Amino acid sequence: MIRDRLERPVRDLRLSVTDRCDLRCSYCMPHATYEWLRREEILSFEEIVRLTASFVRLGVEKVRLTGGEPLVRSDIERLVAKLRELDGLRELALTTNATRLASKATTLRDAGLDRINVSLDTLDAETFRRITRRDGLDSVLAGLDAAREAGFRPIKVNMVVERGVNDHEILPMLDYCGERGFALRFIEFMDVGNANAWREEKVVGAREILETARTRYAVESTGRDEASDTATRFRLTPLDGGASVDVGIIASVTQPFCTHCSRVRVTAEGRVVTCLFSSTGTDLKAVLRSGATDDELDDALRAIWRVRDDRYSEERLAEIRDETYDPKRRAKIEMIRLGG
Ligand code: SAM
Ligand code: SF4
Ligand code: SF4
């Protein structure tokens, strides 16, 4: 099995299938200055499948389709079906903003998609507009219901918690997810990219999220399923009765988890990126389009992984504690291009 410099295997692949999106979330993209990739720059489905097969040979077991918004890429179901045929792939998942999920949930399920995560930061239409700079809350809620009807289990809701924006919605989101049987993942606001005006004061940390939850829920810690998981898990049960909620907190700012990070990312234009906070990646599209054999492709990926020593979030926490952290010191790839 291949390992990086810190002895971490490669297990999870996040595949960005497009940088296009129908929303403009303030924490994800530089709205005014962003330049979209051109169509010919983007990997074809055949190239994506070939690259994924190579990663699976190196040890990847889980693949997550992301973006940009993966459901704006036409015919995404065809890619799902092709990836599902790969031997050795244990799980195929998708992260979506769900604006288009209502009409696609059943075909995605039929194509072989195993799991779905829906990003939803608020239940209030005005706050939704403020965060995403678009309308669309109703279509997202309809998308979530359609995913449940299509049989996806579990359905996870991802909520990025940003102080002064939606931190007052921690309890309403718990109630909403509890009533519908959705799992809820609270995500600490991160300084990915360069343009989201991240400040430490805007981060609502895991401890504070749990404190808020405890005002109305009993909190039982259930740990991490696997060491490389991003979320620490909890079972939250309403103090006044009712169904419990499976909660995860992705505390990459206040409780980083680089030590066991086995995630690799591929951008829509075929750059392999070994950390969410990388400034650059390695262009594999050139290798794919140069007629390389499968062995040559595997060797190229091995060479990238073997020299990986990323642990950005751990370094950031040390610097935050020393009061030396400057989020702008390193130019980072924008989240909309990198995939979450
Ligand atoms: N468009 C899809 C969506 O929104 O679900 C997939 C791509 S999006 C980049 C993937 C995830 O990254 C979303 O759950 C989003 O909330 C999260 N994300 C984006 N910017 C973030 C930030 N600054 N801090 C924390 N999470 C962020
Ligand atoms: Fe689009 Fe997702 Fe980024 Fe929002 S978080 S702008 S939905 S890619
Ligand atoms: Fe992995 Fe980089 Fe995130 Fe650390 S900061 S968990 S190395 S992606």
Is 196 touching ligand 2 by the criterion CB < 6 Å? Answer: no
Cα separation, 293 vs 203, in Å, equals 46
Residue 340 has pLDDT above 80, yes or no: no
Residue 196 has pLDDT above 80, yes or no: no
Cα separation, 312 vs 331, in Å, equals 13
Residue 51 has pLDDT above 80, yes or no: yes
User: Which residues, including other chains, have CB under 8 Å from residue 48's CB and lie 6 or more apart?
Assistant: 15, 17, 79, 83, 266
Which of 312, 314, 315, 333 to probe ligand 3 with, by most ligand atoms within 8 A of CB? Answer: 312
pLDDT digits (tens, 9 = 90+) for 103-143: 999 999 999 999 999 999 999 999 999 999 999 999 999 99
pLDDT tier at 38, thresholds 50, 70, 90: very high
pLDDT score, position 14: 98
Residue 154 has pLDDT above 90, yes or no: yes
| CATH number for the domain running over 12-338 | 3.20.20.70
Is 20 touching ligand 2 by the criterion CB < 6 Å? Answer: no
pLDDT score, position 34: 84
What's 8's DSSP letter?
A: P
pLDDT digits (tens, 9 = 90+) for 8-24: 999 999 999 999 999 99
Cα separation, 106 vs 110, in Å, equals 6
Q: How far is the CA of 66 from the centre of ligand 1 (A)?
A: 9
Instruction: Return phi, psi of residue 183, to 5°.
Output: -85, 150
pLDDT digits (tens, 9 = 90+) for 158-192: 999 999 999 999 999 999 999 999 999 999 999 98
Is 159 touching ligand 2 by the criterion CB < 6 Å? Answer: no
pLDDT score, position 336: 87
pLDDT score, position 31: 72
Q: How far is the CA of 1 from the centre of ligand 1 (A)?
A: 30
Q: How far is the CA of 336 from the centre of ligand 2 (A)?
A: 6
> What separation in angstroms does the CA of 79 have from each of 52, 65, 73, 247?
11, 10, 10, 30
Q: How far is the CA of 340 from the centre of ligand 1 (A)?
A: 5
- Count helices and strands in the chain by DSSP H and E runs: 11, 12
pLDDT score, position 54: 98
pLDDT score, position 33: 76
Q: Which two tokens stand for residue 185?
A: 């993942």
Is 275 touching ligand 3 by the criterion CB < 6 Å? Answer: yes
pLDDT digits (tens, 9 = 90+) for 214-252: 999 999 999 888 888 899 999 999 999 989 999 999 999
pLDDT score, position 332: 87
**DSSP states of 282-308:** EE-HHHHTTT--HHHHHHHHHHHHHT-
Q: How many residues does the chain have?
A: 340
Which candidate, 286, 283, 287, 305, places its Cα nearest to that of 295? 287
Residue 30 has pLDDT above 80, yes or no: no
Q: How many CB atoms lie within 10 A of CB 220?
A: 12
- Boundaries of every domain in the chain: 12-338
Is 261 touching ligand 3 by the criterion CB < 6 Å? Answer: yes
Cα separation, 23 vs 103, in Å, equals 18
Instruction: Return phi, psi of residue 199, to 5°.
Output: -140, 145
pLDDT score, position 313: 96
Question: Identity (one letter) of the amino acid at 206?
Answer: A
pLDDT digits (tens, 9 = 90+) for 272-307: 999 999 999 999 999 999 999 999 999 999 999 999
Closest atom of ligand 3 relative to the 276 alpha carbon: 8
Q: Which two tokens stand for residue 218?
A: 């009993």
The ligand with the least distance to the CA atom of 159 is 1
pLDDT score, position 74: 95
Residues forming a β-bridge with 273: 265
The ligand with the least distance to the CA atom of 5 is 3
Q: Which two tokens stand for residue 82?
A: 């092709």
Q: How far is the CA of 319 from the centre of ligand 2 (A)?
A: 28
The ligand with the least distance to the CA atom of 199 is 1
Q: How far is the CA of 122 from the centre of ligand 2 (A)?
A: 14
Which of 230, 280, 310, 317 to probe ligand 3 with, by most ligand atoms within 8 A of CB? Answer: 310
Q: How far is the CA of 323 from the centre of ligand 2 (A)?
A: 30
Residue 267 near residue 332 (C-beta atoms within 8 A): no
Q: How far is the CA of 242 from the centre of ligand 2 (A)?
A: 32
pLDDT digits (tens, 9 = 90+) for 61-102: 999 999 999 999 999 999 999 999 999 999 999 999 999 999
